[in-house]
Structure 1
Amino acid sequence: MERPPHLLLFLFLIPIAGASSMPERRRLADVITGDAAFRSYPNHHKTAVQYDVALPEFLSGAVAHAVRLRTGSLLRHGAVIDEFRLSSGLVARPHVRRLLVVRQNFGNLSASLYNLTGYELVSPVVGLLVYNAAGIGQRRPPENLEVLQLNVTKEPIAIQLSPAPRRALAGNTKEILCAAFELDGKVKFSGRNGGGACESRQVRHVS
C-alpha cells in the first residue's frame, strides 16, 4: 500500500465545542487566542520583547507567545518570531501605529485537533495572529477585536518548522509538503524552499 504524502502544516483551526460550522470555529479561535494575549500582557513590558500567553485549559499542551511591535520598525527591518521570518516591507492593513503579533504552536495537540484526510502531520502546527496593539496596557482586549492583514511588498515570509522525526523523513523527503489555509477554508500546498522552509506572501493565521 502506498504511503500517504507527509505534510508540514503551519496554520491551524481549533475545533471548539458548540461551534456549528468551520467558519464559526475559526472566529471563536481568533477571539479566544487574542483575548488571552491581551489579558496576559505584563505591566510596563518593553516593545519587541516576547511574553508568554496564558491559554485556556482545553488548549493544554499548546503554547503561545506575543510581542508588541512598531509598524514602522516592522516595515523597515522585518522581525523574527520563533519559526516565522518576517521580511522587511510588511505593511499593516488597516494601518495602525503598533501591532500585537501572537505566535501559536499547538505541539502534541496538532494531530488530535486537526487532521487532513490522506496526509500525516510530521511537524507541530504553528500560526500567527496580528492585532492593533492600541490600549494593550489596560490588559483588556477591545470590544471589536479585529485580526489585521500584513501585506508583503518584498521577500516572502519564511516559516522554518521544527524538524520532522527521522522515521517520517526516511526515504520520503520529496513527499514533504507545506500547507496554508485560506480564510475561505481552501488549502494551498507547496514545496519547501532551498533552506527547507515554507514560504508565504501573506501572514497566515488561525481565522
Structure 2
Amino acid sequence: MFYPLRLFRALGFGNRYVSFLGSFNNPLIKRAKRVGRGPSSGKGKTCGRGHKGQKARSGNNRVKPGFEGGQTPITRLYPKRGFVNMDSKKFSPLNLQRLQVWIDNGRIDVTKPITIKHLYDSNIIHGIKSGVKLLANGKEFFNTPIEIYVSKASREAIKRIEAVGGKVTCVYYNYLGLRAHLHPETFKIIPKQALPINKSNIQYYSNKVNCGYLAST
C-alpha cells in the first residue's frame, strides 16, 4: 500500500500538519446546503426549492404515507374482511399417547399431581400462550392412572383417564396467573389466582362434565 506521508519524510520534507490530500472531496460526507440571500447569491431567492408547490412550503413538506394524489387510496378502496377475536385463546395441545411416552421414559412423576408447570418443565409442550388442552389422540395406548391439572380437556380424554383410575381437573388461568404459575421465580409476590369473568368460561369451569375446578366449590 502506498503512503504519501512516508514518502515525504524520506525525501526530507519533514512532518507536515497540512497535506494536499486534505483538499480532496470525501464522497462519503454530505455537506450541508448553504443558502444565500437574494437572487444574485448562490442558492438564494427560492433556495433550491423551486417555485410554489407543496415541497416549496415551510414545515413538513413530505407527502403523508398512503396519499395517492387525491384519488381514493387503496386503504379505503376495498372493504374490510374478517376480524380479530380479542377473546380467543390459543391452547397448546397435549395428546394422551405423547403423555404416556413421557411417563414410560420417567420424564414425568406420576406419584404426585401433574400441573401445567410439570408439563412445561418436562419439555413435553413448548410455547404455552393461553394454557394446555388435553386431547384423546392415541387414547388406546394410555394406561397409567394419574391426577392431572390442565386448562381444558376433551370429553374422550377425560373418559379415558377416569377409566384407568385417574382424575382430570380443568383450571382457569389468565395471562398473569399462567406466567406466575410457569415462572414463579420472576415474581416477588405470587399474585392471587384470578377467577373467570367471561360467561362462557364460568359455565365451562362450573360444569362437572368438563371436570371444572369450580364445580366442586
Structure number, greater radius of gyration: 2
Which structure has more strand as a fraction of its residues? 1
Where relative contact order (Cα < 8 A, 6+ residues apart) is larger, the structure is 1
**Greater fraction helix:** 2
TM range (shorter): under 0.3
